[in-house]
Chain A
Amino acid sequence: MPSLNLNSMDTSVETLKTADGTPLKKKLQQSLFRNKLRAFGLVSPLLIFLLFLFVLPIALLLWQGVYDPRFSNLMPETSNILEDWDGVSEPTEDMYAALVVDLVNAKKNKTIGKVATRVNRELSGTRSLFTSTARKASKLKAPYKKSLKKVKKKWVEIETWQAMKVASNVYTVGFVAAALDYKLNADGTITRQEEDRRIHIKLFIRTLEISLIVTLASLLLGYPIAYLMASLPLRTSNLLLILVLLPFWTSLLVRTTAWIAMLQGEGVMNDLFVVFGFAEDDDRFSLIYNKTGVLIAMTHILLPFMVLPIYSVMKTISPSYVRAAKSLGATNWTAFWRVYVPQTIPGVGAGAILVFILAIGYYITPALVGGQDGQMISNFIDFHMRKSLNWNLAAAMGLVLLVIILFLFWIYDRVVGIDNMKLG
């Protein structure tokens, strides 16, 4: 009924004109456009900032997960000829000739190190093959297959050529495949990585598992605190709020290190366990440098991110709802569970998402206290960024992580609804 009214109003509006004769709709749009322009002007500094310093760098970095022009730029002749090679037949003399041309140039341009690094990732041991051969490349004579074989026998092995073929792909799924424990072969097929080399899937699962446990643990610990704070008088709750925020005043590193002092073998917790007879002095609990340590330290560090959104939502819930429920005959528990808790869902949702997303990308804490079974995917992204310098693989792992997070967001949106989230 009301919608019908609106429709009839719409048709009458179309014919309306302002005092100077311009159609009302047009005039309205003009004035709205000015407002929109103003709004855009206000956000544009931030928009530009985010675009250039956040979106663009991330996009460029992730792009590296599928884009790797290094080999084909530095070894153009070889790359050209490798494109037509099927990856299994015997390499031809033309291929060897192209290789020597590229090696001579690479040596001259001091780019041979990059080429060697790239191919070495596909086939171990080829780094020195490239660097040492390049030194002699200018003196090599045709037939090149024979003279290269004389320098190193590896040149006539098909694996070397297959590695080069894989490296010469500019657009490649190789790194994403590697991030998922698969392997891209020279003939374009993708096969599962050998069993004792599979690591990433396990890491992704472990990362999700740790994040989920940390989220649940901080919900279980944070909900009662938030409830207490929301039900106390303002002065007391402000004091509690300061206590909750206190950890933010110290650096993450200090807090993590403090947990090491607390949880280590000769640490405070274990000393207490020994004093109270929960553990033998020479058989203490391993609470740190493993997954347990990561879970404890991360739950503590991320707890405020759970407490604050829940608290801010709880604060807005009038006590009359629970009273109403009780007056309607609900027990304390029913009133809490059926009436109070559902109203805190927006806060719980926001807190859980916040903690989960933060946890999934956490890396300092697991790096410091993770030991061997507490490492997360971000530690390996960091490893490939800083240590092994395999930025393509790091980007591919980041890409997979991003896809997983977006997928989880999608699930969350379907189940809870993203607009049903409230930070305060």
Chain B
Amino acid sequence: MSNKNDSFVVFDRVQKSYDGLSLVVKDLNLHIKKGEFLTMLGPSGSGKTTCLLMLAGFETATHGEILLDGKPINNIPPHKRGIGMVFQNYALFPHMTVGENLSFPLEVRKISKNDREEKVLQALEMVQMTDFINRKPAQLSGGQQQRIALARSLVFNPDLVLMDEPLGALDKQLREHMQYEIKNLHKQLGVTVVYVTHDQSEALTMSDRVAVFNDGQIQQLSTPDGLYERPENAFVAQFIGENNKLTGKVKSVNNSEVTVKTSQNMEIKALKVNCGEVGTNTTLSIRPERIHLNRKYKNKVDATIKQLIYHGDHIRCLIKIDKDNDFIVKIPNSNIKSTLKIGEKIPISWDTMDCHALDA
């Protein structure tokens, strides 16, 4: 999918170490296309922010090369890279008004006063904040500051905008609203966005592609639905969305189907995704919504209901399937709710295609 020629940003075997003892980023290869919205997703300490800082120029790569528009940028200082950036705490200059904040990148680029005013107004219109041009950042709410930070990172028409957990400080409702707006702006302007977050729902709803980071490596680079539907390893399956897992040994392999024997001697048929040969350990992953309360599918188990939690549109049901393992099942809120009782034995089943055999 990634031809080097149409890649706008390229990480080529990039490594980063702060202390000379351990690598924070291990052999990173990543190609980002022009106009793409790419999210770096991962738990804290996974190396995603370091990658962003290297791209922005605030950290240097210990090894490897970063290319921007085909040119290596390792030795270009941050202010010459022409990359817009939105910071977690917005980093609006507190001593300047909104207008001055927006005008700052234009001033340092020696753009004439008239053009500056025009561009500042345009950028403010873009985020619907024209009325606030003379306010100081401290006089704005968190969401308003966020919009100004966004406008400031875009006002000088950069081809690439980096966002470092920009919505982390906002409440849930505002965050969802801003996700929508950022996505809209991205579509409107066609700018390339590299977005860092640890919030998987944010990553899934906004991105063209998501790079899941863990332990200094990209675990999977894929579209949002690809990540959810076809996780390539146990970490991704566990990290993205809710997941039920079972561990066991591969008993037999038949083309794309494997038979796995669990620790409780249960035999389960699963889709072969990322598991080893016969006899190796494997982790099975099944999404909660793919488990059915009947015996229609290939893998059938008898389970006991341990807990029921009312969630409005669905009911979360914690069930015990054997001595070692509990599953979460999401049951759509229909009449069936009233019939379920804690301690009740119920049959469950799931399809082979919904059960992925992954690495141990």
Contact = CB atoms under 8 A, between A and B. Distances in A.
B82 A324 contact: no
Contact of B152 (A320, A323, A328, A334): A328
A328 B108 contact: yes
B61 interface: no
B113 to A, nearest CB: 17
Contacts of A345: 95
B273 to A, nearest CB: 40
25 contacts: A318-B89, A321-B91, A323-B58, A323-B85, A323-B87, A325-B93, A326-B58, A327-B78, A327-B84, A327-B85, A327-B153, A328-B79, A328-B85, A328-B108, A329-B79, A329-B156, A330-B108, A332-B79, A334-B108, A338-B104, A342-B93, A342-B95, A343-B93, A343-B94, A345-B95
Interface size grouping (class) on chain B? 20 to 34
Contact of A320 (B57, B78, B80, B89): B89
A339 interface: yes
Interface residues of A, number: 20
B105 interface: yes
A323 B79 contact: no
A334 B110 CA distance: 13
Contacts of A124: none
Contact of B91 (A318, A329, A331): A318
B172 interface: no
B109 interface: yes
A327 B104 contact: no
A323 B164 CA distance: 12
B266 to A, nearest CB: 52
Given A329-B109, A329-B156, A324 B78 contact: no
Interface string B72-91: 00000111111111011101
Contact of A329 (B56, B88, B95, B105): B105
A329 B88 CA distance: 19
Contact of A326 (B78, B88, B95, B109): B78
Choose among A320, A331, A332 the residue with the greatest number of B CB atoms under 10 Å from its CB.
Answer: A320
Given A330-B108, A338-B104, A343-B95, A324 B79 contact: no
Q: 4 smallest A-B Cβ distances: which pairs?
A: A328-B105, A324-B91, A327-B85, A320-B91
B81 to A, nearest CB: 8
A337 to B, nearest CB: 11
Contacts of B152: 328
Contacts of B79: 326-332, 335
Given A323-B78, A325-B104, 14 more contacts: A321-B91, A323-B85, A324-B85, A324-B87, A324-B91, A325-B93, A326-B57, A326-B78, A328-B84, A328-B105, A330-B104, A330-B108, A339-B104, A342-B95
Contacts of B156: 328-329
Nearest to A339: B93
Choose among B80, B94, B104 the residue with the greatest number of A CB atoms under 10 Å from its CB.
Answer: B104
A323 B91 contact: yes
Contacts of A335: 79
Contacts of B89: 318, 320
Nearest to A345: B95
A329 B87 contact: no
Interface in A305-328: 318, 320-321, 323-328
A338 B78 CA distance: 17
Nearest to A318: B89
A338 B81 CA distance: 20
A162 B141 CA distance: 73
